[in-house]
Amino acid sequence: MALRFGIIGAGGMGRLHSRNLKRIPDAEVVWVTDVNREVGEKLAGEIECSFVKNWERELDKVDAVVVCTPPFAHFGQIVSSARAGKHIFVEKPLALTMRQADRIVEEVKRNEVQLMVGYVLRFFPAFQAFKEILVSERVGDLVVVWINRMGGLPGAPWLFDPKKSGGMTVEFNTHDVDFLCWLGGKPSAVYGKTLKSRADLGIEDNVWGILTFKKGIGILGSSWSNPLGFSAIGLIGTRGVAIMKEYDKVIVKETEREVEEFPLSKEADPYYEEMFYFLKCIKEGKPVGIDAEVGRLALQVCLSIQRSSQLGRVIRLQE
Ligand SMILES: NC(=O)c1ccc[n+]([C@@H]2O[C@H](COP(=O)([O-])OP(=O)(O)OC[C@H]3O[C@@H](n4cnc5c(N)ncnc54)[C@H](O)[C@@H]3O)[C@@H](O)[C@H]2O)c1
C-alpha cells in the first residue's frame, strides 16, 4: 500500500519534495497546506492533490508529513504531527532552541513515530565519498576535516529575522555542522566567529567555526557575501589526504601511493534519494538514523558557534 503524505509549506522545498514524492511509486501526496492559500492551492493543483487549510484536522488521512515551513514553525507542527502518530520528515533545522529540540526528541519517542531531518548533503556523492574514505581507514585517523560553502545573499525574507530563521548559523551552517559531526562524532568543544559584512543586516552573513572531536578537528567557513561563490571539502588523516575538486571529483592520496580519483556517481539525485530513503525506512520499519537526536546535536553546535562568537571564548559541550 502506498504511504500517504501531507505537505506542510508549499514554498521552494515543499514544491521540490512533493514533486519527488510524485515520482516514487509507493508514495501518495494526499494534501498540501500553506498559510498562503494561493501558494498552497497552486501546488496542490500542480501535483493533483487537495489543498487543506486546517491541516491538523486532516492528519487522519495521512501516514506521514513533510514539514517545509520556515524554522520558527517547525516545533509546533512536529509536535502536533507526532501526537497524531504520524511520521515526520522535517527540513533543517529541526527547531530553534534546545528546549524545543529536547521536547521534540521526547514527543517522537513517546509517540513511537520516526522523524528524519533533511540533511541532504549526506545524499550527495562527494559528501558520501568523504564518509567512506574515513570509515574505510585508507587515510588513517581524522586530523582535520573542513568545509567551505559560499555564495550571495539568499532571497527569503524570513531568513533575515533571527527569531524566524535562527540566523545563518542555525539555518544554513546546520548542514556543514551535520556533515562534520557525521565524520567526527559529537564535538567536545566549539569555537566560532559570526560576522556581518553590512551593518544593516538583521543576521550574520559570514560564519566560521572550529569543532574539537575525540580525534581531530572539524572546520567550517562560509559566507553569504561572496557572489563569486566558492565550495571546498578536504580531509587530512594520519595516513593520507582527500580533497574535493568541484562537486564532481574527489581525489585521494594515501601515503606512499599515487594520487587516485575516488569514483562518484554522475546519476545522483540527492533530494529524491533522501525522500526515497525516508519512505523505505518507514515501510521497512527501520530507524532513519538521521533523526531528532541528530538534529538536536547540530542545533546545539550551531547555537554554540553563535554563543562562542558573542562571548569570545570556547564553548564546551557536555558528554
Ligand atoms: N535542504 C535544503 O537544501 C534546503 C534549502 C532551502 C531551504 N531549506 C529549509 O526548508 C524550509 C523551507 O524553506 P523554503 O526555502 O521552502 O521557504 P519558502 O519561504 O520558499 O517556503 C515556506 C512556505 O511556508 C509557508 N508557511 C510559513 N509559515 C507557515 C505555517 N505556520 N504553516 C503553513 N505554512 C507556512 C509560507 O507561506 C511559504 O509558502 C526551511 O526550514 C529552510 O531552512 C532547506
Residue nearest to atom 6 of ligand 1 (CA): 13
Residue nearest to atom 9 of ligand 1 (CA): 91
In CATH terms, the superfamily for domain 121-264+298-316 is: Dihydrodipicolinate Reductase; domain 2 (3.30.360.10)
In the CATH scheme, what architecture does the domain 3-119+272-291 have?
A: 3-Layer(aba) Sandwich (3.40)
Count the Cβ atoms, other than its own, within 10 Å of residue 130: 24
- Predicted pLDDT of residue 1: 86
Signed CA dihedral, 20, 21, 22, 25: sign only = positive
**How many Å lie between the centroid of ligand 1 and the Cα of residue 119?**
15
Residue-wise pLDDT for 262-271, tens only, equals 888 888 999 9
Contact 179, 121 (CB under 8 A): yes
Q: What average pLDDT score do residues 158-174 get?
A: 98
**What percentage of the chain reaches a pLDDT higher than 70?**
100
State whether the beta carbon of 36 lies less than 6 angstroms from ligand 1: yes
- Predicted pLDDT of residue 247: 77
Contact 31, 58 (CB under 8 A): yes
Question: For 222, what's the count of Cα atoms within 13 Å in the CB-facing half-sphere?
Answer: 26
Residue-wise pLDDT for 42-93, tens only, equals 999 999 999 999 999 999 999 999 999 999 999 999 999 999 999 999 999 9
- Predicted pLDDT of residue 318: 81
Residue position matching grid coordinates 562527494? 126
Pocket test for ligand 1, best of 67, 68, 74 (most atoms within 8 A of CB): 68
Q: Is pLDDT of 306 > 80?
A: yes
Per-residue pLDDT band for 276 (boundaries 50, 70, 90) equals: very high
**How many Å lie between the centroid of ligand 1 and the Cα of residue 154?**
13
- CA proximity to 60, closest of 6, 106, 2: 6
Q: Is pLDDT of 319 > 70?
A: no
State whether the beta carbon of 53 lies less than 6 angstroms from ligand 1: no
Contact 65, 40 (CB under 8 A): no
Q: Name the β-bridge partners of 66.
A: 7, 89
Residues contacting 114, CB < 8 A, separation 6+: 87, 88, 108, 281, 282, 287, 288, 291
Residues contacting 209, CB < 8 A, separation 6+: 173, 177, 190, 191, 192, 193, 219, 220, 301, 305, 308
- Predicted pLDDT of residue 245: 76
Residue-wise pLDDT for 101-139, tens only, equals 999 999 999 999 999 999 999 999 999 999 999 999 999
The residue type at 170 = V
**How many Å lie between the centroid of ligand 1 and the Cα of residue 8?**
9
- Predicted pLDDT of residue 106: 98
**How many Å lie between the centroid of ligand 1 and the Cα of residue 156?**
9
The C-alpha atoms of residue 103 and residue 84 are separated, in whole angstroms, by: 15
Identify whether 93 is preceded by a cis peptide bond (ω within 30 of 0): yes
Pocket test for ligand 1, best of 7, 8, 13, 78 (most atoms within 8 A of CB): 13
Q: Is pLDDT of 145 > 90?
A: yes
Residue nearest to atom 33 of ligand 1 (CA): 34
The residue type at 144 = V
> Which grid cell sits at 182?
557525521
Domain positions in the chain are 3-119+272-291, 121-264+298-316
Q: Is pLDDT of 9 > 90?
A: yes
- CA proximity to 69, closest of 78, 61, 60: 78
State whether the beta carbon of 192 lies less than 6 angstroms from ligand 1: no
- Predicted pLDDT of residue 246: 72
- Predicted pLDDT of residue 265: 87
Per the prediction, the chain carries an average pLDDT of 97
Which of ligand 1's atoms lies nearest the C-alpha of 67?
11
C-alpha separations of 44 from 4, 34, 64 in Å: 15, 10, 17
Least confident of 38-52, 152-166, 255-269: 255-269
Residue-wise pLDDT for 199-246, tens only, equals 999 999 999 999 999 999 999 999 999 999 999 999 999 999 999 977
